[in-house]
Structure 1
Amino acid sequence: MLTTLTFIDIAILVAYFGIVTFIGWFVSRNLKSGDDLFLAGRSLGVATIGFSLFASNISSTTLIGVTGQAYSSGISVANYELMAGFVLSFAAFTTIPLFLRLQITTVPEYLGRRFGPACRKYFSALTIFLTVFVDMAASVYAGVVVLQTFFPSAPFIPLCIGLAVFAGLYTAAGGLRAVVYTDVLQAIILLIGAGVISYMVFSQFGFSWAEATKALPDGHMSLVRSADDPALPWTGLLIGVPILGWFYWSNNQYVVQRVLAARGIETARQGAAFAGMLKILPLFVMAIPGAMAAELLPNLENSDLVFPTLVADYLPIGFTGLVLAGLIAAIMSTVDSTLNSASTLVLHDFAEVKERGWSEKKIMQVGRLTTGGLIIIAALWPIVIREFPGVFGYIQQVFGYSVPPVVAIFLLGMFWKRTSGKAALATLIIGHLISGTTFAYRASMAAAGQADGLPHFTVMTGIMTAFCLVLCAILSMILKPEHEFSNELILGKQDIRPTTASAVGWKDFRLQAAIVVFSTALIIFLFR
């Protein structure tokens, strides 16, 4: 409630907004080119990349969604977060060296060079849709849900507009450099705020894991569930979640853009490893507190209210402002990231500013205008999202039915030279027609309150990806490649080795990847 905010709380919030505004203004003075606006001049370091990857992913939707779903069905939802350790390690051997070696600006640019302009524009349009209508708008929605807990009289739509406009202004002004600098600040605030929540919730059980587990439903604190589990069966964890994770961390422009902005391949790999280790934390500071809330906050009608209710009920005076700052930081981190990446896609994949020879001044002007237009969608689409049962479910299911054809053509395109552009485009179209029809069928059956008879959506993701792989391979053997392309577009032996002589010992990305994989696997084993 509004009365729970003390002078200290409000001062922290004001200070946060002041710092972010200053960063946007300060960075904007030094922008000189489109590369500065969209890729921070390709100058980002290890810590900046790692914190920025973490912060842009751990958005308000994660705070609200993970704690909410953990409240409803247990900590298995944390598998979506833990999977980042595996897929980022895989990316260190695949997309990271390939994309940086090619010096691309957007992920669809790779498909354009590999398969032709039609695939590039198709995937770019899909990415813009997912970025704006899923990631960005869902983050604004989740943030408003929390803010309305403390300001119940604040109307929904004006709050949406205010959050989207504020993020848009400093993104348009400072570009990716402002985004990643504020991401570092936001990641630190977020971890402190979520850590305080976790401490206070665990204290309600006397800091006893045995007491907490005893008070909760059977299996609530287990990561690995039975094959018929409605939240996340082990089959979906095995064949679906890795595909969703690999798309998100290797093909999603607003995430990959940070990697593309690295000062070198080894820097990008080390930053990815750092982010992979950070992604272990959501289990402890989001999923476990959310699961414990099932005992502390019984009978909540809307699981999306778990996090804000924990903040309001269990934080001591003075800490609420810090957590709210962390929440707003998370909102800003995702919204600014998605705005910047979506405008990058529009200018480079549709306006084709490189090919048209636009001046750097014109690129920056149009980029900022594009960001302004996208703000409108971010501000208004949450009206639709609030009708969906659970923000995290909204995000995961939309991605679950969108990514299989994309993952299929990327994997074949990187590893198999025979893959043709016509086959890739046909796979995208056919795959999305099938998955879109399936999604619509499930939605209609759910609206009618009837069972659809289909497996869990993560299992469907795995099945659809396998189908698209086979389809693309068969079509590629029938349809010859339309144009010649360089072998540099295919992964080679050079991509699995360090690119600099100094990348030895702890700096060797292969050792770092092994540590991340082992640590993540150990956590899953311990909480199985």
Structure 2
Amino acid sequence: MLNLQYIDITVICVYFLCIFLVAIVVSKKSKKEQNSTTYFLGGKEMGWFVIGASLFASNIGSEHLIGLAGTAANSGVAVAQFELLAGIILLLLGWVFVPFYLRSGVFTMPEFLELRYSKNTRAYLSVISIVAYILTKISVTIAAGGIIFQAMGIDFWAGAVIIVVITGIYTTIGGLKAVIYTDMIQMFVLIAGSLVVTILGIYHLGGWSALMTSVDTSYLSLWKPISHPDFPWTGIIFGAPILGVWYWCTDQFIVQRVLAASNIKQARRGSIFGGYLKMLPLFIFVIPGIIALAMSQNGELTLQNSDDALPMLVKVLLPSGLKGLVLAGLLAALMSSLSSVFNSCSTIFTLDIYKKIKPASSEKHLVLVGRLATVGLVVFGLLWVQFIDNISDQLFTYIQSVQAYISPPIAAVFLLGIFFKRLNSKGAMASMVTGFVLGIARLIGEVNKVDLTGALFYFCDINFLHFAIFLFVICVAVLILVSLLSARPDYAKIDGVTFNKLSLAGTKKDLILSGLLVGILVAIWIYFS
């Protein structure tokens, strides 16, 4: 319980009011809300700043703020590797994938897969994407929201339902444009709130140097041995990028932001800007977990569970008013993630599934279907929350592990499909089905691994990042082998969605900014080694 005062409640209410006002203003400025391009892609007129801000805000959910701090308090800063690597993967999105996506004029990632392979691959990705949203983003974000409301003295489930309803309302008002512009506002709020906790925590401990000496050095290293149960360096270097390619470069939840760009230049720069923003979580989300660990070792606070790290810091360090700001930041993170996933998932369901069944549907009808689709997703997400603890004790680790089971085959067919024309639809389907079977077997086995022995136990117990490497290699092998053993695709039909030298064309400024971002990452790796 955070013992909130009236001023904290006022700050939170002002935040909610601002979000609604932004959503209403944006929706009124949309000339034709019932048009699918306007509703699902914001009219394709977004600039680089709002794209980058939305990439960051929609990705950073409350499970990040709670889970990153919690995992850091439990095992150190190594969890930040996912955030840091995301910055580099966003460069891959901007330089490699964006040109193909925007030139093809697609609305969704499944639609792009149909252009490259076949209708069957589109149908597969449509279904698997919706399942992935339920298993990961929706349910875990709702669970994190329930934790926040518990800290405010509100029942877990009541809080979860409240935040889902509020987010759903403003998401349906203005479509993707409202989501992106509210994301931009929420980016400032969540960064500001997190900075307050970090700065006050470092000051409380006596400065940065004091923080660095307050815990064992192993907690301050980004690099863990191969035997580490969660973040072995081999898994980070070879496994995490596989998850990153799927999430940042092929997942509708993220890519829909760059699809809304006015042109390739704006989309690429938005991706680069998002990459810079992803350097921040180490300092404003992960370091607070180390601060909480140091304070618990000093007896200044008690951590009954590692995920209590951030809530306890808020309770112990922050005066009234600032507590409201930080909680507004937490709610901003939650709402930006939920609104983004609702809009992206409804886009896939409406355009890749419903429209295929009823191709004669009017624009107005398609928008209505997209709005109604979120209701079922919310219900399934709420039902799945109760199973999360069976897979991982830390929220963030759970998300990464589930992604490791479903992402390798999708990453393989997108990444290799762009660079190798010889790959065909039979190879793609064989690869994705193989990956799905092995991934689901692993997911089911992990829940029940206490009853397994021998090779089956090892299969279900191996680190999830190492499993991602194994699964990716298998999927690539199947993709290539089956493609080579069957007829080659019609090169003329896939020419626009496969690699050519013009795809990498960019400005000198973009190249310099991209190189600087890589340099920042290397510097962070060295400092926290």
Q: TM-score range by the shorter chain?
A: over 0.9
Q: Secondary structure at the match of 1:240?
A: helix
Q: What's 2:279 paired with?
A: 280
Confirm whether residue 5 of structure 1 aligns to residue 4 of structure 2. yes
Confirm whether residue 471 of structure 1 aligns to residue 489 of structure 2. no
Q: What's 1:137 paired with?
A: 139
Indicate conservation of the 8 Å contact 1:48/1:180, yes or no: yes
Q: CA deviation at 1:357?
A: 3.9
The letter of the residue matching 1:369 is L
Q: What's 1:224 paired with?
A: 223
Confirm whether residue 149 of structure 1 aligns to residue 157 of structure 2. no
Q: What's 2:202 paired with?
A: 202
Alpha-carbon distance change, 109 to 228 in structure 1, aligned in 2, over 3 angstroms: same
Q: How far, CA to CA, are the matches of 2:309 and 2:450 in structure 1?
A: 24
Q: How far, CA to CA, are the matches of 1:188 and 1:148 in structure 2?
A: 24
Q: How far, CA to CA, are the matches of 1:164 and 1:87 in structure 2?
A: 30
Q: Deviations over 1:56-92 (max 9, x none)?
A: 1111011011101001000000000001111111222
Q: What's 2:517 paired with?
A: 516
* Alignment gaps of 5+ in structure 1: none
Q: What's 2:415 paired with?
A: 411
Query: Please, which of 484, 497, 500 is the counterpart of residue 489 of structure 1?
Result: 497
Q: What's 1:115 paired with?
A: 117
Query: Please, which of 279, 303, 306 is the counterpart of residue 306 of structure 2?
Result: 303
Alpha-carbon distance change, 357 to 512 in structure 1, aligned in 2, over 3 angstroms: farther
Q: How far, CA to CA, are the matches of 1:162 and 1:350 in structure 2?
A: 29
The number of residues matched between the two structures is 517
Q: What's 2:331 paired with?
A: 328
Alpha-carbon distance change, 271 to 472 in structure 1, aligned in 2, over 3 angstroms: same
Task: Write the mapping of 1:304-453 to structure 2, written as runs, cut at 5 A.
Answer: 304-352=307-355, 356-385=359-388, 388=391, 389-445=393-449, 452-453=457-458
Q: CA deviation at 1:241?
A: 0.8
The letter of the residue matching 1:492 is N
Q: Secondary structure at the match of 1:229?
A: coil
Confirm whether residue 458 of structure 1 aligns to residue 458 of structure 2. no
Alpha-carbon distance change, 54 to 446 in structure 1, aligned in 2, over 3 angstroms: farther
Indicate conservation of the 8 Å contact 2:138/2:378, yes or no: no
Q: How far, CA to CA, are the matches of 1:62 and 1:398 in structure 2?
A: 15
Q: Secondary structure at the match of 1:418?
A: coil
Q: How far, CA to CA, are the matches of 2:211 and 2:189 in structure 1?
A: 27
The letter of the residue matching 2:200 is M
Indicate conservation of the 8 Å contact 2:115/2:494, yes or no: no
**Bigger shift: 129-138 or 279-288?**
129-138
Q: What's 2:56 paired with?
A: 54
Q: What's 2:179 paired with?
A: 179
Confirm whether residue 99 of structure 1 aligns to residue 105 of structure 2. no
The letter of the residue matching 1:302 is N
Q: What's 1:16 paired with?
A: 15
Q: What's 1:160 paired with?
A: 160
Indicate conservation of the 8 Å contact 1:172/1:371, yes or no: no
Q: How far, CA to CA, are the matches of 1:174 and 1:480 in structure 2?
A: 46
**Bigger shift: 450-459 or 402-411?**
450-459
Q: How far, CA to CA, are the matches of 2:185 and 2:514 in structure 1?
A: 25
**Bigger shift: 338-347 or 459-468?**
459-468
Q: Secondary structure at the match of 2:217?
A: coil
Q: How far, CA to CA, are the matches of 1:354 and 1:269 in structure 2?
A: 34
Q: How far, CA to CA, are the matches of 2:412 and 2:494 in structure 1?
A: 21
Indicate conservation of the 8 Å contact 2:235/2:465, yes or no: yes
Indicate conservation of the 8 Å contact 1:132/1:342, yes or no: no
Q: TM-score, normalised by structure 2?
A: 0.94
Alpha-carbon distance change, 292 to 449 in structure 1, aligned in 2, over 3 angstroms: farther
Q: How far, CA to CA, are the matches of 1:309 and 1:380 in structure 2?
A: 28
Q: How far, CA to CA, are the matches of 2:165 and 2:346 in structure 1?
A: 15
Q: Deviations over 1:84-121 (max 9, x none)?
A: 11111122221111101111100111111111111111
Indicate conservation of the 8 Å contact 1:422/1:481, yes or no: no
The letter of the residue matching 2:183 is D
Query: Please, which of 79, 85, 88 is the counterpart of residue 87 of structure 2?
Result: 85
Q: How far, CA to CA, are the matches of 1:126 and 1:40 in structure 2?
A: 25
Alpha-carbon distance change, 524 to 449 in structure 1, aligned in 2, over 3 angstroms: farther
Q: What's 1:290 paired with?
A: 289
Alpha-carbon distance change, 365 to 39 in structure 1, aligned in 2, over 3 angstroms: same
Q: How far, CA to CA, are the matches of 1:448 and 1:21 in structure 2?
A: 51
The letter of the residue matching 1:6 is Q
Q: Deviations over 1:345-402 (max 9, x none)?
A: 0011111269814322112222212233333334443333355522112101100111
Q: CA deviation at 1:301?
A: 3.0
Q: How far, CA to CA, are the matches of 1:221 and 1:60 in structure 2?
A: 23
Q: What's 1:169 paired with?
A: 169
Q: CA deviation at 1:10?
A: 1.1
Alpha-carbon distance change, 445 to 188 in structure 1, aligned in 2, over 3 angstroms: same
Q: Deviations over 1:266-312 (max 9, x none)?
A: 10000110010011110001111212211213562322221111111
Q: Secondary structure at the match of 2:220?
A: coil
Q: How far, CA to CA, are the matches of 1:353 and 1:474 in structure 2?
A: 31
**Bigger shift: 321-330 or 309-318?**
309-318
Q: What's 1:126 paired with?
A: 128
The letter of the residue matching 1:422 is K
Q: What's 2:67 paired with?
A: 65
Alpha-carbon distance change, 140 to 447 in structure 1, aligned in 2, over 3 angstroms: farther
